[in-house]
Amino acid sequence: MNPVPSASRVGPFLVTSGVSGRDPLNGKFPETLDEQCAQMFASLRKILEIGGASPEDVLKITVWLKDRSQRAHVNKHWVAMFPDPHSRPARHTFANPLLDPPMLVQCDCFAVIAQPRGKQAEGLFHTVALRGCAANGSGNIEGVLLL
């Protein structure tokens, strides 16, 4: 297992590690950038949920693209995740031609959780299977999601 957590939460602050478009169920990358963007945002949403946050709590996202001229694919899924143009988080997009093939896109995120939602997790956590991941009564994360 990767020793780097998918995210870390201390108090109201949640910071992710790199979130890619890798399919967490089979460990493979989809072939197209559009599919990888869709999976990246789905994984980000799940990490936020496990950490007690939602897209509304996101303050900033940094995106790395193999080819920055392909930002339209990111924008399509960005607008779907953050539909209100008045409350979208800040975003910075960089070109990174050194992303390990076949990775085409990766992001990280900083969220500030203003209002607690349900059970919360605090500390370092590894997200392992998208299905069945939930915080248990002790505040620990159950399950593992390979991102």
Q: For tokens 């998918």, what's the residue? A: 6
Q: Tell whether the model's pLDDT for residue 127 goes beyond 80.
A: no
- According to CATH, the topology of domain 7-142 is 60s Ribosomal Protein L30; Chain: A; (3.30.1330)
Q: Tell whether the model's pLDDT for residue 84 goes beyond 80.
A: yes
pLDDT digits (tens, 9 = 90+) for 43-66: 999 999 999 999 999 999 999 999
* pLDDT value of residue 4: 86
* pLDDT value of residue 124: 54
Q: Tell whether the model's pLDDT for residue 141 goes beyond 60.
A: no
- Contact status, residue 144 vs residue 28, Cβ threshold 8 Å: no
CA distance 25 to 85: 32
**What is the average pLDDT across 83-106?**
96
- Contact status, residue 17 vs residue 40, Cβ threshold 8 Å: no
Q: Tell whether the model's pLDDT for residue 147 goes beyond 70.
A: no
Higher-confidence residue of 137 and 106: namely: 106
pTM for this structure? 0.80
Cα angle: 14, vertex 17, 20; to 5 degrees:
120
- Contact status, residue 3 vs residue 125, Cβ threshold 8 Å: no
Give bridge partners of residue 7 from the DSSP assignment: 16, 125
Residue 142 confidence class, pLDDT cut points 50, 70, 90? very low
Higher-confidence residue of 23 and 135: namely: 23
What single letter denotes the amino acid at residue 19?
Answer: V
Residue 128 confidence class, pLDDT cut points 50, 70, 90? very low
**What is the average pLDDT across 24-44?**
96
Residue 120 confidence class, pLDDT cut points 50, 70, 90? low
CA distance 141 to 36: 25
